[in-house]
Amino acid sequence: NETLLRLEHTPKLVIAALNGHTVGGGLEIAMAADLRIARRGAGKVGLPEVSLGVLPGTGGTQRLTRLIGHSRAIQLMTEGTNTDFDQAERMGLVNRVMDADSTEDFLAQVMAYARQFVRPAKASLAVGNIKRACQSGGQLPLEQGLALERELQAQLFNSEDAKEGLNAYVEKRTAAFSGR
């Protein structure tokens, strides 16, 4: 659990590429990522631990509930069945399903998708603060979450990236973020 918590709390955006059956502990690891991208037809997801007389004990009960809701999470875990990636996307467990002819093609698509979240295309400080606001703020009462959001926004307004982003917008050009 400590390793998965560190993965969740890193300011970097973590993307899991699902290219095969992702069940049990594999799904528990994938759920600790910020985004889950799957290759259509390459496998299924599930938490079948109930069939072994145990529960998904590496954070699976908590992360699945937060991702897809209380009732659906209980259903998925107590049935112990696996579901295809398209259904998992409809549930909100998988963020995107991609068509790919091979593993190499799929991984190339995932890498191309991931590049949109890093500099110079995106401000890495803003990405990290968005992640923190969602993770930490989502566990707080609304008023405290809004206060956290304001605090993080104030930090960003003092960054070089915010100045660059606002100047680029006014000048009608693409921003080139530096991560500072």
- Separation CA 172–CA 180 (nearest Å): 21
Amino acid letter for position 63? R
Residues, the chain: 180
Q: Is the dihedral of CA 149, 154, 160, 164 positive or negative?
A: positive
- Separation CA 162–CA 157 (nearest Å): 6
- Separation CA 4–CA 63 (nearest Å): 11
- Separation CA 78–CA 81 (nearest Å): 8
Q: Would residue 151 show up in a list of annotated catalytic residues for this protein?
A: no
Helix then strand count (H, E) for the chain reads: 9, 6
Amino acid letter for position 139? Q
Q: Would residue 49 show up in a list of annotated catalytic residues for this protein?
A: yes
Q: Smallest Cα–Cα separation from 121: which of 170, 72, 50, 179?
A: 179
- Separation CA 69–CA 6 (nearest Å): 23
Q: Which of 49, 89, 143, 171 is catalytic?
A: 49
Q: Which of 28, 79, 149, 171 is catalytic?
A: 28
Catalytic residue positions, numbered: 28, 49
